[in-house]
Structure 1
């Protein structure tokens, strides 16, 4: 169902203009010194009311720092951010009334309380009027499919149920904008599907959603538009189809391998015509993804380069959003190869892309 944007005097639900965030770190003990690390370097984007907007990027790219600046948990070093026209630095109280924040993991709930008691407690913290609390909580329990289980202690909930309860908690005060920071992390496939349905249903209410995730299929299915951040800067923005169009001129080869290491990837990446080669670790197996220019027949040369490595299934396919994401992030790495690692990223770390 298409979103029904909520009335607002502002054209955009979220605005980020030239956001920067620099951290001062103290290193050393005997001779301590301070160093500055720039986590976000001039990020700008806008999100329309009712839009489901994705923010993607590798670990250390600046996603979490950007979200924390938008939801008032961090002040920008420079630049401005607004929620429905309200500046996050000057109008903090008004911004907080308009936003909800849901993060992945087990934190943020009281395990020895029931789901119902958790929601009652947070409804009081959020200032939900007592006369509307009961109806609001009942509505949200039904929306996240926890009605009938609301009197059970949270300590007995599965991770997927906890994440749905997190979403209900974030919606208690009926926010205009909901920030979802990796809500499906560590959740099994069935629970992840239920979470995606819950998030997609928010469109019908006109809630603006900013979603961060490492799961490309999730972003492709849910998001109206996506921004990719790497090295603290915005590298690309557009609909999932627009981002995928960046790699339409490529062929993709997926190869199931066993026992391949990074050292064996170097000669493979050096093959003429290979644009990228990434290795993803799975449950007891690895998947090697090789991108090449359209029409370049690399099948046999790639297999020859894998001589001595046990090879399973080999599949040639059309590029996906994940392939576009990998290409965008690798291009960012090539452009800033001499700049050193981004904030929070270990030297030599590679981008990990989940299936």
Structure 2
């Protein structure tokens, strides 16, 4: 597994990662989430041997990236959305062959793997075109193929689907899930939280480089009190209806447009609407909004004194 203990990274007076403990076991997709500037990309670059930590320890499959970076690089790969990770003046096929040679992939294995990866990312017909003529989405798809060229034990994904069309992003998610099922360890950061909920069995949430919480997405939502929200639109929100709604639950909120809103666990929609109708209200609409991982992350950051400061 990948493990960090007390990981800290300083850039001058700024602390980007502050005492982070993190575990990425094989056979699981692990999420690393936080707002912009939380320290996610810095953490991934340390694990990928692109940055050296200021203090703390890192092990990748039992290896120390500082003492034995070459051995670590053979076992990992990095896919980062929004960054150029291939050579523009080479063709797609030439890029994959070049990076395969760097990883010492045997020629016979490499030739077959290149064809498989080109098909996987939908670039077979563009394989012999220079990357400088690729669209942004095509370039990102090639970067994904490059990240799989050495069949890594651990895959570090930093916004991997950024700029990808929906069908290609969906296919990549299938690939990532399949890699985890085959025993590989995957660390994922993404702003597409539906993607995280779909893929990640365990999530770390960080803020200002510090650990805020961890657990399965559903557990994080429960820990932060993020429950489904019931929104009832009332045609004429009279004082009597307001009083009845507050008597039903003092956590009721009133929003513009005659909306009565309640965020509570359990099934409260039926009882709330019945209370409103019995008070003389006429319903104009009913909406039930399920809690999201985004709600949990925002709640965790709101509660963190360090992040607030």
TM class by shorter-chain length? 0.7 to 0.9
Secondary structure of the residue aligned to 2:151 is: coil
Aligned residue-pair number: 272
Kindly provide the CA deviation profile for residues 214-255 of structure 1, in whole angstroms up to 9, marking residues without a partner as x: 111010011121111111101111112211222456343789
Name the counterpart of 2:245: none
C-alpha RMSD of the superposition: 3.0
Kindly provide the CA deviation profile for residues 299-318 of structure 1, in whole angstroms up to 9, marking residues without a partner as x: 9xxxxxxxxxxxxx984312
Q: TM-score, normalised by structure 2?
A: 0.77
The alpha-carbon deviation at position 20 of structure 1 amounts to: 0.8
- Please say if residues 221 and 227 of structure 2, whose CA atoms lie closer than 8 Å, have aligned partners that are also in contact: no
1:91 aligns with one of 64, 68, 71:
68
Q: Which structure's CA Rg is the greater one?
A: 2
Flag as ranges the 4+ runs of structure 1 deviating above 4 A.
272-275, 290-299
Kindly provide the CA deviation profile for residues 164-190 of structure 1, in whole angstroms up to 9, marking residues without a partner as x: 221210111221111111011233433
Name the counterpart of 2:8: 20
Q: Which runs of 5+ in 2 are unaligned?
A: 233-249, 254-260, 274-284
Kindly provide the CA deviation profile for residues 25-62 of structure 1, in whole angstroms up to 9, marking residues without a partner as x: xxxxxxxxxxx111111000212112111111111101
From the superposition, tell whether residues 148 and 187 of structure 1 become closer, same or farther in structure 2 (CA, over 3 Å).
Answer: closer
Name the counterpart of 1:117: 94
Which stretch shows the higher mean deviation, 238-247 or 52-61? 238-247
Q: Distance in 2 between matches of 1:59 and 1:76?
A: 20
- Please say if residues 203 and 214 of structure 2, whose CA atoms lie closer than 8 Å, have aligned partners that are also in contact: yes
Kindly provide the CA deviation profile for residues 91-112 of structure 1, in whole angstroms up to 9, marking residues without a partner as x: 2121111110111025122234
Name the counterpart of 2:175: 198
From the superposition, tell whether residues 21 and 273 of structure 1 become closer, same or farther in structure 2 (CA, over 3 Å).
Answer: farther
Q: Distance in 2 between matches of 1:204 and 1:143?
A: 18
Q: Distance in 2 between matches of 1:324 and 1:150?
A: 42
Q: TM-score, normalised by structure 1?
A: 0.68
Name the counterpart of 2:24: 47
2:37 aligns with one of 55, 60, 63:
60
1:246 aligns with 2:209: no
